[in-house]
Chains A and B, each alone.
Chain A
Amino acid sequence: MSRVALKHIVSPRGGGAAAIAAITGALGTSVRVEDADGRVLHGAGDAAGTARYPVLHGGEPVGWVSGAEGAQAVAELLAHLMSKDAERRALGTEVLHLYREVNLIYSFSEKLAALLDLDRVARLTLQEARHLIPATDGAVLLLDDDTGTLSTLAGFGQVLPALAGLRRAHGIIGSIVASGVAEIVNDVDADPRRVRDRSGLRSLLCAPLRVGERVIGAIALGSAASAAYTAAELKLLNTLALQTATAIENARLFERTIQAARDREALLAANKEMEVARAKLEREFELAATIQAQLFPAELPAIAGYDVAARNRPARQCGGDYYDALPYVDGRVLLCVADVSGKGVPAALLMSHTQATLRALLGGPRTLQALAAQASELLYASTAANKYVTAALLDLDIATGAARFVSDGHADCLLVRADGTAARLASTGAPLGLLPPGLPYDETAISIGAGDCLVLFSDGIADAQNETGEEFGDGRLLDLVIASRTQSASAMVDRVFNAIDAFAGSAPQFDDVTILVLRRTGA
């Protein structure tokens, strides 16, 4: 409330002094002006005893004018000047109030512009709103477009921040969010949209947070007093809401940008890790392939009266196939095709281990069964439980063609006679290194005559697949080797590989392919 002082009015700067002088000068008289407490503000004591007129302001005497002629006119003039001064001051107070608001909004905008964090934007908004508009409760609510629910980003007081399950178009705040139009509700309990009776809030001021035509939430202020809010305050809240909505959008955009950058970094890091892992794997494959390649005999030994050929083609993910032809004492030779479990370097190492074991044992045990049993025992003792080797072993008496065959869980092998008949050489025992020692290995005795072909191979041949997932199968292989039985061993090897490649087409080779052909040429 502006103060209006009679003292100020009658001062030279207040304008009253000149007016009094004009009146008294014109009338040739004098007046005395006192304030309500009797202090003389103008004139001298000689006006005492004459007529006394009150200077009325707001119906109350704020001073007195004494004197003869003109005193009443001066009193009325001073009352008029006081009234004008009061109006001026009221206007000034209003302007000052508005200016304070403008200044606060201005500084609010400046502060908001510096914030890129949602919570801080919401807290600052409530802090400023509370500063400008009296409230016992307040909340900044954000709308989830997908679910239509409103969640509280920041709040103060007991009621508004605790409101749960708010939804668009539901309740007072929800309907304001849906309509996008700010409202004053000065009797909450009488509003049919209310979701709670006697919540403790009697008045509510709520403005939607709008970005263009889109409503992203709301800011609500509440008061325990009824009819607490005015249209001017609603306008003010709307102004704050507009700036807050923009700041929230900016903060969200910033968050999204930061998140996208983080995602990109994470993706790059993951890519890099993958690249490192891939390179490591690649090196491992190369190492495995090198180890594997070195294990194969550079050249198969010449066996008098026989034609021998073999080939291995490792899969991309290096497996563990192995073949060998090892002549040993008294005109005998051990032929072998093996397939070790696992892939990569571990498989290559196991293959190396198997080769060393077989070579070390060669010529020691009396029978091929005993050799297989000992090899299995050694591998079992020196490898992990899940490591094993399937192997097809043939111990051949070169001169007679009498042979003993042991298959340690290996794929069936083939013996094709010169007349085109064929026999499958099935497994005679468990894979090497898989089971504890003591299990017996059977053996198959065979005789290889002139023109007969023995074909040892790994399961990579029968399991080779074409683009539709169909397997090459044992039947195709059998037909092929029967048809090629009169050709050289190397020609048969070539035909098998060509047939597999023609069958597979563009389908990748996923397992090692190994074949060893022994064809008896002489009697």
Chain B
Amino acid sequence: MSTILIVDDEAHIRMLIQQALEELEDAGVDLVTAANGEEALAAIESARPDLVFLDVMMPKVSGFDVCRRAKHELGLSDMYIVLLTAKGQEFDRQKGYESGADLYMTKPFDPDGLLAKAREVLGLQTT
């Protein structure tokens, strides 16, 4: 069974992403959420998600930090990490890739694009 971790400090964004990915639950995908960087690292260690949608701008531990620790310190190089950030902060893109992110998406994101990306990463067919 695959697991997707959704990390954002804003509850409505978490809900949005969950909702966008809801149909994957039928395919046995487990959707796990975290509200900050610390929760995210804990969830990564315990649930070992296959895919993480990770907000960049979070207090205390940023998305970059989570990404770097997961990829480099925990050695989870196979875990696919999609960084999400607000439009207009594209100058962070390079920093995102340097921290080990696999993809960089800007908000407002296209919910259908998010779902398609999840299916692609998890190797699921479109229903």
Contact = CB atoms under 8 A, between A and B. Distances in A.
Interface of A: 2-3, 8, 13, 89, 91-93, 95-96, 99-100, 102-103, 106-107
B25 A93 contact: no
A8 B12 contact: no
Interface string B71-112: 000000000000000010000000000000000000011111
B19 A103 contact: no
A99 B25 contact: no
Nearest to B15: A92
B20 A96 contact: yes
B20 A95 contact: no
Interface in B1-25: 12, 15-16, 18-20, 22, 25
Interface string B49-61: 0000000000000
Contacts, number: 35
Closest 5 CB pairs of A and B: A92-B19, A96-B19, A103-B108, A106-B108, A92-B15
Contact of A103 (B15, B18, B22, B109): B109
Main secondary structure of the interface of B (DSSP, over half): helix
Contacts of A91: 15
9 contacts: A8-B25, A13-B30, A89-B19, A92-B15, A96-B20, A96-B111, A99-B16, A103-B109, A106-B108
Contact of A100 (B25, B87, B111): B111
Given A89-B19, A92-B19, A99-B111, 14 more contacts: A2-B22, A8-B25, A91-B15, A92-B18, A92-B22, A95-B12, A95-B15, A95-B16, A96-B16, A99-B16, A99-B108, A100-B112, A103-B108, A103-B109
Of B20, B108, B112, most A-chain CB atoms within 10 Å: B108
A10 to B, nearest CB: 14
A518 B115 CA distance: 112
A106 B110 CA distance: 10
Contacts of A13: 30
Contacts of A93: 19
Contacts of B20: 96
Interface string B11-43: 010011011101001000010000000000000
A40 B81 CA distance: 36
Nearest to B33: A13
Interface of B: 12, 15-16, 18-20, 22, 25, 30, 87, 108-112
Contacts of B19: 89, 92-93, 95-96
A106 B107 CA distance: 10
A452 B109 CA distance: 110
A3 B19 CA distance: 11
A479 B71 CA distance: 117
Contacts of B87: 106
Contacts of B30: 13
Contacts of B111: 96, 99-100, 103
A283 B39 CA distance: 90
Contacts of A95: 12, 15-16, 19
A341 B25 CA distance: 101
A357 to B, nearest CB: 88
A14 to B, nearest CB: 11
A96 B20 CA distance: 7
A166 to B, nearest CB: 36
Contacts of A99: 16, 108, 111
Nearest to A99: B16
Nearest to A104: B110
A89 B12 CA distance: 12
Contacts of A2: 22
Nearest to A106: B108
Nearest to B12: A95
Contacts of B12: 95
